[in-house]
Structure 1
Amino acid sequence: MAPKVAADGTPDLKDYADVIDPSTFDQILEMDDDDERDFSRGIVYGFFEQAETTFEKMEKALTNENLSELSQLGHFLKGSSATLGLTKVKEACERIQHFGKDETGTEEKDNTTALAKIKQTLGEAKGDYDEVAKLLRRFYGEKV
């Protein structure tokens, strides 16, 4: 079944529950005072800027093989994603947060394996982000 769209072409976010948690995102929408959705738009577009900057920092940390920074950046973006209900991005960032550590929470001794896992997961996170960013841009009336 194809996802539903409103007459104006905006997607029905409930049809995308695999990438965005509708109940969490609805809580953000409830804070809007008007039909223009200025408040939630500001939060979402602020997240876009934050995510893109964080992904750039992650790429640099990956190049520098800095597992500690990758973990911190994964943790940071996990929290931001969770606040908006962006489930796939949140889950990928949580994996990045933990890949550089062993089961006791100390830094993993095999950096090569951890970095390879992070590199793959970072690619997945960016793909998931691109998917949800396009969806939300359409939701807010942008042509993408």
Structure 2
Amino acid sequence: MASNTQHDDGHDKGIPDLGDAIDILTFSQILEMDDSEDDREFSRSIVFGFFEQAQETFEKMDEALANEDLEELYRLGHFLKGSSATVGLTKVKDSCEKIQRYGKKENLDGTPEDDDNLCLSRIKTTLSVVKTEYAEAEKTLKDFFK
């Protein structure tokens, strides 16, 4: 699959439209590494490994939020942003970037935010959103690999 021959509707050589939560260009690059389109063993292992990693990270984020640990929330947001970008989960990546900024005590525009409670409140709200975005993307990808 040539990744630069994508169509606007997201369809390319048997890849269904995965919606706006998944970057089809990034995801198709992972699929290109499969030896066989029949079992998709490599891409399946990458994606399902990400699912495990994301669940563990969400648990750590919940714990860090309960402990009001902004530095740990920054670190976890940064980590999950990178791994979700690798798989092509655009919305999850964008929300994790927000968590990363709030954990770093910044506003979305990068300006400093001195109110820890405001940052924690924003993270709590964003974490709820990112978990929903993740669940939708997980369902879409699990359906793809059936």
Supply the distance in 2 between the matched residues of 1:11 and 1:105 (Cα, whole angstroms). 37
- Corresponding residue of 1:19: 21
CA distance in 2, matches of 1:131, 1:86: 10
After TM superposition, the structure 1 = structure 2 runs for residues 128-139 of structure 1, keeping only pairs within 5 Å, are 128-139=133-144
Bigger relative contact order, structure 1 or 2 (CA pairs below 8 A, ≥6 apart): 1
Please say if 1:97 is aligned against 2:104.
no
Corresponding residue number in structure 2 for 1:6: none
Structure 2's unaligned 5+ residue stretches are 1-8
CA distance in 2, matches of 1:127, 1:109: 28
The Cα offsets for residues 82-135 of structure 1, whole Å up to 9 and x where unpaired, read as 001100000000000001323697974211100000000000000000000001
Partner of residue 53, structure 1: 56
Report the residue type matching 1:21 in the other structure: D
**2:114 is the alignment partner of 1:109:** yes
Alignment-mate amino acid for residue 124 of structure 1: V
Q: Give the total of aligned pairs.
A: 131
Q: Unpaired segments of 5 or more residues in structure 1?
A: 4-9
**CA contact 1:11–1:138 (8 Å) conserved in 2:** no
Q: TM-score, normalised by structure 1?
A: 0.84
68-77 vs 104-113, which moves further: 104-113
Counterpart residue identity of residue 32, structure 2: E
Q: CA RMSD in A?
A: 2.2
1:43 to 41, 46, 55: 46
Give runs of ≥4 in structure 1 deviating > 2 Å: 102-109
What is the aligned partner in structure 2 of residue 75 from structure 1? 78
CA distance in 2, matches of 1:33, 1:127: 32
Identity %: 57
Once the 2 structures are TM-superposed, how far is the Cα of residue 15 of structure 1 from its aligned partner? 4.5
State whether residues 92 and 121 of structure 1, in contact with CA within 8 Å, keep that contact through their aligned partners in structure 2.
yes
